[in-house]
Structure 1
Amino acid sequence: MVNSSLRTLRDLPGVDDLELKSLMKPRFADPDVPEGRDEIDALSIAIFGLALDEAESTVRPADWDGIETLAPADMAEAFEAEGWDVTDKRRKPLRLLPHLALPLALAMRGVAGELPFHAEPAQEKSDWGSSLAADAKRFTKR
């Protein structure tokens, strides 16, 4: 079960479209020789303001944990612990994850790039005011 307070990578603009492309054409997001490197790079720039090559050349802090080098399943767990759901609808790591993990990690930790704006979920209105009005109405009828 997915924690509803997690930010979801696949919900960011363009991610789901490229994920579908990589599903239809597995070489599109192949970690070794991706055919879609230019499109994935453009997506990374659009979302995080950080190109894939820029992310690779970014100097990481001394306490960097190397989250981007983990196996995809381990990466998904590590990102979830930091508040991000990086899985598809079937809870499998995204095919684009090996490419977007480093830019995401750098942005979420404030090292380089930036995270896209995320509005806080709307607060549910409580009904205490309406019950107060009903109580007052009953009181005045007495």
Structure 2
Amino acid sequence: MTMSAPLRRLIDLPGVNDLELKALMKPRYADEAYRSEFPDIDDCARAAFGLSVEEAEAIALPADWDGIDRLEGQDRIEAFEAEGWDVTSDRRKPLRMLDQFALPLALAMRGVAGELPFQPDDDTPEPWGAGMAAEAARFRKR
């Protein structure tokens, strides 16, 4: 049995959780129309993905682009999860700032522009006894 890698969480990237809190207190943070009032959004995107939201919008999308950044609701959550990213809060609701970060994240994860933040390999040891059931089943077959 192979375990799939755990999803990377957008909210765990540096600065994203802070912006989520700001958007909770001031909903205009999450509104794309007011992005120019909040330069920390572009700063956070640049730090996380190597390009700002404005730079991401200026990039010509490939002809086969599926519009993952413009999907709505559960469709967008599932599309990002299929790519290995959790874009929800702890309550499994889409992040308030997802409209701001969806395009830079999509461009970076698909290798079109920008880059994904470094993630070290998971080197935590397997819990004691985790493979014992499989080992016992193999022993019984002998």
TM bin, normalised by shorter chain, reads: 0.7 to 0.9
| Count of residue pairs the alignment pairs up | 126
TM-score, reference length from structure 2? 0.80
Q: Which residue of 1 aligns with 2:75?
A: 74
Q: Any conservation in 1 of the 2:29–2:97 contact (CA below 8 Å)? A: no
Distance 1:20 1:14 in 2: 10
- Could you list the structure 1 runs, at least 4 aligned residues long, displaced by more than 2 angstroms after superposition: 31-37, 125-128
Q: 1:122/1:29 Cα in 2 relative to 1: closer, same or farther (>3 Å)?
A: same
Distance 1:75 1:126 in 2: 34
Structure 1: tracts of 5 or more residues without a match = 129-142
How far has the Cα of 1:126 moved from its partner? 7.5
Q: 1:36/1:19 Cα in 2 relative to 1: closer, same or farther (>3 Å)?
A: farther
TM-score, reference length from structure 1? 0.80
Q: Deviations over 1:29-86 (max 9, x none)?
A: 1233347541111111111110111101112222110111111432111101110000
Distance 2:128 2:40 in 1: 48
Q: Which residue of 2 aligns with 1:124?
A: 125
Bigger Rg over Cα: 1
Equivalence map 1:1-142=2 (5 Å): 5-34=6-35, 37-124=38-125
Q: CA RMSD in A?
A: 2.1
